[in-house]
Amino acid sequence: MGISRFNTVSSSPEETIAAGERIAQMLQGGSVVALRGGLGAGKTYLTKGIARGLGVQEEITSPTYMIISEYQGRLPFYHIDAYRLQGDDDFSNLGGEELLYGTGVSVIEWSERLPHSIPKDAIIVEITILEQGRRRIQIKDTR
């Protein structure tokens, strides 16, 4: 998808949201962003920034109990939380794969739980918790 390298350190939720807005500028219809990072790493804050950068006006909340939340911006925006899924079959049974190959942008939290569902050209974003509450946010590869 022609995504460029991205590597930044965030010192606050606001900076994490701003990093998401910058990532959004690199996305187009059909983009899949696979987020990886531990509990409390800032995946939802980054997702809020991506959504804001795509023109989504609604408040983005963690979709843990909904699993998939859909929003409208300049493109359809799908926020997927795979934390409670038991794997690729659960995701497929929810119709999740259809979203990944559509015209919208999909952001998947806990994407490592869906190893066979993530498209080969997905944008892998890893968030690492550093000392003093900082976070490293980097695009690892596009597979």
| pLDDT band, very low/low/confident/very high, at 64 (cuts 50, 70, 90) | low
Q: Is 87's pLDDT higher than 60? A: yes
Determine how β-strand 123-129 pairs with β-strand 135-141: antiparallel
Q: Per the domain annotation, does 22 fall within a domain?
A: yes
* pLDDT value at 14 more than 80: yes
Total of domains in the chain: 1
pLDDT band at 142 (very low <50, low <70, confident <90, very high): low
138 falls within a domain: no
The answer to whether position 141 is within a domain reads no
Share of the chain above pLDDT 90, in %: 66
**49 in a domain, yes or no?**
yes
DSSP conformation class of 113:
G
Task: Centre a 10 Å sphere on the Cβ of residue 125 and count the other Cβ atoms it contains.
Answer: 26
Q: Does any domain span residue 143?
A: no
- Give the pLDDT score at 2: 43
Does the pLDDT value for residue 98 go beyond 50? Answer: yes
In a domain, 1, yes or no: no
| Cα–Cα distance measured from residue 55 to residue 75, given in angstroms and rounded to the nearest whole number | 8
Domain hosting residue 125, numbered range:
7-99+106-130
The answer to whether the beta carbons of residues 50 and 139 sit under 8 Å apart is no
User: Tens digit of pLDDT for each residue in 127-136?
Assistant: 999 999 999 9
- Closest alpha carbon to 52 in 105, 1, 10: 105
Phi, psi of 130 (to 5 degrees): -105, 180
Q: Look up the CATH number of the domain holding residue 52.
A: 3.40.50.300
Q: Are 137 and 33 in contact (CB under 8 A)?
A: no
Residue 1's pLDDT band (cuts 50, 70, 90): very low
